[in-house]
Amino acid sequence: MFHKKAPLCSLDQCTINQAYRCFQTAVGALPQGLCLYDEKNRLRLWNEKFSKLYELSGRLYAGMHLDEVIDLTVNAGKYGNRARADIVNDRHAFIEKRMQARFDQSLDTGTIVEIIHVPLEDGGWVATFEDVTILRSTEQQLVHLANHDQLTGLANRRKFTDVANRLIEEPSRSATTLVLIDLDGFKAVNDSMGHAAGDLLLKEVAQRLRLAAADACLIARLGGDEFALLFESSIADNGRFSRACDIVSVVVGKTKIGATEINIDASFGVATVGDVTNVDALVAEADTALYDHKRRKRAQR
């Protein structure tokens, strides 16, 4: 007895249908939104996470052109005030480059979407979309912490060094000026009133520096009671000392720490980027000028 074999096409179709259902399930379970376009930029596959991210649920269909998808997102205000034509032109120009890329898109809601674009061999392309708003915020906070003094909020020594190095390497900024400021008698405040009082004093000085040197490209606390200010604008030799005096005149004076009134005094030194070739030399030159200023003040007492 011969058994009739099932048609191979039926078995193949069953296998294909089962594989497709598994594929759809896998795509739907992805933590990112996903879109698949063919070589004519027509939408062939997407998941619900993409639809929800761009508020397009129930509005997409297979064969929909990329330009139509962009129209929906533009009409929903996802691109803010950007012109529709600019968005379309930019997207097509990018797709035609046939290159893999990772970039962020900021939506009008404040959501930041990381898009990973991958061209396919058949001329189409696939892209994933992930909400990275919290991640980017965390990254920004970490960068800020790495570059700023936690007590005063000013730039720290690391940030100061990075900026100063950049200025030294740019010949056009050879006249950039560093003003180094050191508080007089700060240790006595710490010793007599405690470190909490010293911290309040440093915060007050930082605030006064922000007001006095709003035109500085960088205000930093280098450590302890030492502050640094960098000016990108050229300050002539005969004007550098005068500018530093103006800043210090705003910093010094009376202030209250709790119920106690204390007097802030400070010394300063000035150096110019054009006179040195590295950050250490720049700081050393300003430091020498600062201690000369301290000695002159002591001699006048």
Q: Is 122 known to be catalytic?
A: no
pLDDT digits (tens, 9 = 90+) for 90-105: 999 999 999 999 999 9
Q: What is the mean pLDDT of residues 44-72?
A: 93
For residues 255 and 202, the answer to whether their CB atoms sit within 8 Å is no
Question: Phi and psi for 24 in degrees, rounded to 5?
Answer: -60, -40
* Four-CA torsion 59, 65, 66, 67, nearest 10 degrees: -90
Q: What is the mean pLDDT of residues 117-128?
A: 95
Q: Per-domain residue ranges for the chain?
A: 21-136, 148-300
Give CATH for domain 148-300: 3.30.70.270
| 220 pLDDT more than 90 | yes
For residues 269 and 291, the answer to whether their CB atoms sit within 8 Å is yes
For residues 247 and 187, the answer to whether their CB atoms sit within 8 Å is no
Of 184, 225, 265, 292, which is the active-site residue? 225
**What is the CATH architecture of 21-136?**
2-Layer Sandwich (3.30)
Residue 3: the pLDDT is 44
CA-based radius of gyration for the chain:
31
Which residues, listed in sequence order, are joined to residue 108 by a DSSP beta bridge?
Answer: none
Helix (H) or strand (E) holding 257: strand 253-257
| 163 pLDDT more than 80 | yes
pLDDT digits (tens, 9 = 90+) for 19-53: 556 656 666 667 789 999 999 999 999 999 999 99
- The backbone region for 203, taken as left when phi is positive above 0, alpha when psi lies in -120 to 50, beta otherwise, is alpha
**How far is Cα 109 from Cα 131, in angstroms, rounded to an integer?**
12
Residue 28: the pLDDT is 62
DSSP string, 176-216: -EEEEEEEETHHHHHHHH-HHHHHHHHHHHHHHHHHHTTT-
